[in-house]
Amino acid sequence: MFQVAAHPTAFDAHRQHGHGHSHAHPSARRSSHHQSSSSSQGLQLPRTLARPPFAECSREAILAASPELANVPSEFIRLRLRETAPQMLAGMSCLAPSHMPAQLPRTHIPSAMNVPVRASSSSRMVPSYPTHVLAIAPSKHASHSSDAVALFPVHALVLASHCALLPRLPSAAPAHPTATQVQLPVMPLQLPSLTAFKILHSFMYTHNVGALLAALLPLPEAFTHTSGFSGEHVTHTMRSGTKLHELSSYLYSASHKSLSSLTTHAAHVKELWQDCVTLGVYDLELWDAMDLAWEIVLGAMNIAAAAH
C-alpha cells in the first residue's frame, strides 16, 4: 500500500529523478491489541509494517570506512559504535555553524565542504569529526518538494554499518583530532522523508529507543524516558494488551481526540518506515520500535473511530 524508492538515489543537483515500487512482504508479528486495519471515512492502513528481506551491510563500504574492521561482523561494529557515540556527537558539535548550514539550494551543492572546527566543550573527550556530509532532497514521490537540500554531517562507518542499500560514499581523508578544519565530501541523496531521516540519523548514533518513540509520537514521558529504556521494554509492551491500550488512549487524548491528527502521526511512522526500507536499515530494535509505534497509532485510531 505504501510506496517507497527501491533504493536511495544519488541525484544531479540540477535535475530531479527517481523511482519507486510497493512492498507487499507480510510482517510475521501480529498483536491481539486489535485485529483489523484501522478505517474511517475511507482511510485504509495496513495492519502491520512490512519488513523487507534482510540484507547484510556491504563489507566493501565498511572496509573503505575502517580497513581494520574488514573481518568484524556488522552487529559487533554497531555495538562498538554505541560506546564511541559521545565522541562522534562531540565531533559534529565542533563544526562551525557558519560553515555548516542546515540547508543549501539544490543547485548549489559543492562536491566537498571545508568546515572550521571549534574546541570541544569537554576537555576530557577527544572528538571524532564527521567524514562526510549528506545533502538530502525529498524523492519525487515525497508529498513535499523543495528547491533546497538538508545537510547532515555523518561518519562513514556509522552509515556503512547500518545502511545496506546506501550508494558508495566518495573517498575521504580522516581528520586529525587537533585539526583546525575538516574537508567533508558531499553526497547528494534522495530519500522519501527529511523529517524521518532526522530521527533515523539520531538513532544510528545514540540507539536511544525511547527518544525514537518520543520523536514519532506524543507519549507519556514516564514511558519513553524510563531509565535504561531498551528493546526489551518494547517487546514487553507489545505483549501487553493492557499497556498498548493505555498508550493508545493517551495518544488519542494527546491528539485532541482528532482522527486527522492521528492520521498525521501515522504518516510520521510510515515515513520512518519508508526511509528505513529505502536505505536498507535492518536494526532489530529500530524495527520493533516502529512496530510498537504503529500498534499504538492504530489502537488510537480505532478508539477515535468508535467514538465517532
Structural domains counted in the chain: 2
Asked whether residue 305 is assigned to any structural domain, the reply reads: yes
Asked whether residue 38 is assigned to any structural domain, the reply reads: no
Same domain, 217 and 162: no
Same domain, 215 and 288: yes
Cell numbers given for 277: 526500507
State residue 10's pLDDT score.
66
Most confident range, picked from 4-13, 56-65, 172-181, 288-297: 288-297
Three-class DSSP category at 149: strand
Burial class (CB in 10 A: 0-12, 13-18, 19+), 246: middle
Cβ(168)–Cβ(65) below 8 Å: no
| Strand pairing report for 103-105 and 21-22 | unpaired
Asked whether residue 7 is assigned to any structural domain, the reply reads: no
Residue 7 has pLDDT above 80, yes or no: no
**CA 199 distance to own-chain centroid:** 5
Per-residue pLDDT reduced to its tens digit, 94-116: 999 989 999 999 989 999 999 99
Same domain, 164 and 227: no
Cβ(217)–Cβ(297) below 8 Å: yes
**Band (175; pLDDT cuts 50, 70, 90):** confident
Same domain, 229 and 160: no
Asked whether residue 23 is assigned to any structural domain, the reply reads: no
Residue 11 has pLDDT above 60, yes or no: no
Same domain, 173 and 299: no
Asked whether residue 11 is assigned to any structural domain, the reply reads: no
Same domain, 247 and 144: no
Q: State the residue range of the domain holding 249.
A: 193-308
The sign of the torsion formed by the CA atoms of 242, 245, 251, 257 equals negative
Rounded Cα distance, 273 and 277, in Å: 6
Same domain, 162 and 264: no
Asked whether residue 31 is assigned to any structural domain, the reply reads: no
SS3 per-residue string spanning 42-82: CEECCCCCCCCCCCCCCHHHHHHHCHHHCCCCHHHHHHHHH
Rounded Cα distance, 253 and 221, in Å: 15
**CA 24 distance to own-chain centroid:** 21
State the average pLDDT for the chain: 86
**Band (44; pLDDT cuts 50, 70, 90):** confident
Torsion of CA 93, 94, 96, 99, to 10 degrees: -80
Asked whether residue 153 is assigned to any structural domain, the reply reads: yes
Q: Which of 164, 191, 218 is the endpoint of a domain? A: 191
Half-sphere exposure of residue 227: CA atoms within 13 angstroms, side-chain side:
0
**Band (27; pLDDT cuts 50, 70, 90):** very low
Same domain, 213 and 304: yes
Same domain, 105 and 132: yes
Q: Which of 127, 159, 191 is the endpoint of a domain? A: 191
Closest C-alpha to 283, from 238, 217, 234: 234
State residue 125's pLDDT score.
82
Same domain, 161 and 257: no
State residue 13's pLDDT score.
57
Q: Which of 167, 191, 215 is the endpoint of a domain? A: 191
| Strand pairing report for 181-191 and 132-138 | parallel
Cβ(1)–Cβ(22) below 8 Å: yes
State residue 12's pLDDT score.
59
- CA-angle at 93, arms to 152 and 285, nearest 5°: 60
Same domain, 210 and 152: no
Per-residue pLDDT reduced to its tens digit, 223-252: 999 888 889 999 999 999 999 999 999 999
Residue 160 has pLDDT above 80, yes or no: yes
State residue 70's pLDDT score.
83
Same domain, 160 and 239: no
Asked whether residue 26 is assigned to any structural domain, the reply reads: no
Cβ(248)–Cβ(300) below 8 Å: yes
Which stretches within 94-180 are classed as H helix? Answer: 156-162
